[in-house]
Amino acid sequence: MLAGIRKLPFALLLAAALPAFADVTYVVNGLDETLAANVLSHADTVQFGPRARLRPRDHEKVIDKAIADARAALRPFGYYAPEISARIIEKEDRSAIVELTIEAGTPIRVASVDVSVVGPGATDRLISSWLRAWPLGEGAVLDQTTWENEKQIAIETANSRGYLAAEFTARRLELDLEKSAATLVLMLDTGPRYVMGDVEYSGHSLKPGILEYIPRFDKGDPYTAGLVSRFRTDLWKTGYFDDVTVLETDRPDLDPPAVDFDVRVATKTKNHYSGALGWGDDTGIRLQANYSRHPMSSNGDRLDLGIGYRELDDQLTLRSRYRKPWIGRSRQWWDAELTLRVENQDLEVKRDEEDEDFIQLATGDLDERHVRFGRLKLRNLKGGEAQRFTTPFVQFLNSDQRFDLVDLTPDDPTTRVEDPVLEGRLRTIENAFSIGLDYEVVDVQGRAFETFGRRDRAWIFHSDKAFGSTVEFTQLYAATRRSFLLGDRLKFHVRGEIGYTDAIVDEFVLDIAGQPLNLSFTRLPNFYRFKAGGSMSVRGYGFEQLSNNDIGSNNIITASAEAEYRFLNSWSGAVFADIGNAFNDWDDPDLKRGIGIGIRWYSFAGEIRVDVAQAIDFEGKPIRYHLTIGTPLL
């Protein structure tokens, strides 16, 4: 404390002796934006900050230092002989400006470059891509920041591919200032590739044979950072754990060298709750509540329950799913689903698909009970980068529809619809027992805007009276969604789907107020009918608005192409074109077109997409707005 008191008078005298100045700033003339920014970043912000003090006798010292700092700032960019002048301008408000005028001069250029890769990883696709893309070729201006960045990228790339002992056995940057020339020599020795080693689990009570099949790799498979990242993600996705830690231990002493994994997990709660609230101009209010319990026991089984409400058709849906690992069979699960749906529908049809207005034919209730039981099998593809899911299944649908024809105009008997066959079709109880196969491939990588990959889905199932069904049909379906990156700012999305159902179609011609109304009515149960339109289908048209008479169809075709351009780190714009329809007659699919623009925000909660789309093939070409949350690949 005594020492502090002794220093206090000196500090006070110093403060009194120095005149106060306002801020001291730097100005750089004669350089492009990148070089000028680097010169400014080398300014002595400690000496010249807010309320800096600058005395006339210090001007020469300040100018010398500013010139020296500017020279140092230009060297990494290849400029070793710049011409620099400087002056200090004092303004009336006692602020000071240090003005630098710089002519960069002749830059150092690369005269000779020898960059090579040796070792087992020399032919690795990512390492080879780094080598082919080497930016400092002969004649290029020497940029030492690029030189350092490329070295870092090389090591990181090699490590990510399993070459954890990669190092540079030669790295030289030689300058000839008289000739303004540089010689670059860089040799990367990848060393041996590490493999996946042992995986040990601790902190859980699950039976053996459950967690062991979560990794997308087997012991001895080549190590990649991507597989390790997916391993962590897959552990979280099981829903078993509240905390997951994966520790890696390099084992260079083994042959081949390996990486062992110590997986430490913890489960504090088994009950999980979630909910959602939404609204759409074509669906009204949407509510959803979900409950999950996992694991339910040491068998690793889980139960998911969900209840949802949609204002459109006053629809109430209850869904449940139970999944249990098949212990002893790697990556296989028993899978059971139950769906109960109740809705109050107004059967509204269109005289012509281009019409926006509907004609109400009937009103009533539709109750559906659907049960599916299958065996889900997972297979890893492309070294674990992609996964294939196959599920042979049996399913049962009980559909009870009770619709009554309405009087279009009670005071005018000519508008009354009287058709006994149609009335019979509107009041049915159908049982459909079917067997089938569900197939899906998921290969999605990256995050936010950089997300790319594909998702393919297909199924086939058949309902037959021999199985106890009251209705016979066969349905086939295939769909794909793909995203491609082109550089850092441009991305393309394409998607398409096609579905076919071999089911009987009844054709009716109704007399409505003296005008004929053609009605195409499939006998396919409502639960399995195809409909198109909406934010994930043909944009510009309402949710499930496109089908025969707007009551669902046997077949569907849709396709979409979209280009997305990132203009800010988390924002991008998009243009798109969609086409498609759901229909009963393959001779007249009458595909509808939609075009539009959109904006994407990659938020902490995921991708939020807003689209403004125009229906090209409806009268008046109406415009609709679509809001979607989530990547189009999922």
Rounded-to-integer distance, Cα 258 and Cα 220, Å: 8
Same domain, 200 and 184: no
Same domain, 96 and 131: no
Alpha helices in 407-451 (DSSP H): 420-426
Same domain, 49 and 160: no
Six token digits for residue 595: 């075009």
Same domain, 610 and 488: yes
Instruction: Taking the CA atoms of 145, 146, 147 and 148 in sequence, report the sign of the dihedral they define.
Output: positive
In a domain, 297, yes or no: no
Same domain, 471 and 550: yes
Same domain, 173 and 212: no
Per-residue confidence (pLDDT) for residue 591, from 0 to 100 = 95
| Interval 432-461: pLDDT, tens | 999 999 999 999 888 888 889 999 999 999
In a domain, 8, yes or no: no
Domain boundary among 266, 296, 318: 266
SS3 letters for 58-98? Answer: HHHHHHHHHHHHHHHHHHHHCCCCCEEEEEEEECCCCCEEE
**What is the DSSP-derived secondary structure letter of residue 223?**
P
295 prior amide bond cis, ω within 30: yes
Distance of CA 380 to the CA centre of its chain: 20
Q: What percentage of the chain reaches a pLDDT higher than 70? A: 88
When pLDDT is averaged across residues 40-54 and rounded to a whole number, the result is 57
Rounded to a whole number of angstroms, the distance between the first and last alpha carbons of the chain is 66
Domain CATH number, residue 548: 2.40.160.50
Q: How confident is the model at residue 45 (pLDDT cuts 50, 70, 90)?
A: very low
In a domain, 634, yes or no: no
In a domain, 121, yes or no: yes
Question: Are the beta carbons of 571 and 600 closer than 8 angstroms?
Answer: yes
Res 57 pLDDT > 80: no
Higher pLDDT, 416 or 24: 24
Six token digits for residue 466: 């021999």
Same domain, 566 and 467: yes
Six token digits for residue 89: 């301008």
In a domain, 555, yes or no: yes
Domain CATH number, residue 120: 3.10.20.310
Per-residue confidence (pLDDT) for residue 350, from 0 to 100 = 67
Q: How confident is the model at residue 18 (pLDDT cuts 50, 70, 90)?
A: very low
Per-residue confidence (pLDDT) for residue 256, from 0 to 100 = 93
- Which range is least confidently modeled, 210-224, 346-360, 470-484? 346-360
Domain boundary among 266, 281, 300: 266
Res 87 pLDDT > 80: yes
When pLDDT is averaged across residues 528-546 and rounded to a whole number, the result is 90
256 prior amide bond cis, ω within 30: yes
If one counts the domains in the chain, the total is: 4
Same domain, 137 and 221: no
In a domain, 2, yes or no: no
Same domain, 224 and 182: no
Same domain, 244 and 374: no
CB atoms < 10 A from the CB of 627, how many? 13
Res 576 pLDDT > 70: yes
Candidate ranges 28-37, 42-51, 495-504, 521-530; pick with highest mean pLDDT: 495-504
In a domain, 78, yes or no: yes
Question: Are the beta carbons of 78 and 110 closer than 8 angstroms?
Answer: no
Rounded-to-integer distance, Cα 322 and Cα 293, Å: 10
In a domain, 397, yes or no: yes
Question: Are the beta carbons of 359 and 349 closer than 8 angstroms?
Answer: yes
Distance of CA 247 to the CA centre of its chain: 27
Same domain, 417 and 395: yes
Domain that holds residue 255: 195-266
Same domain, 199 and 183: no
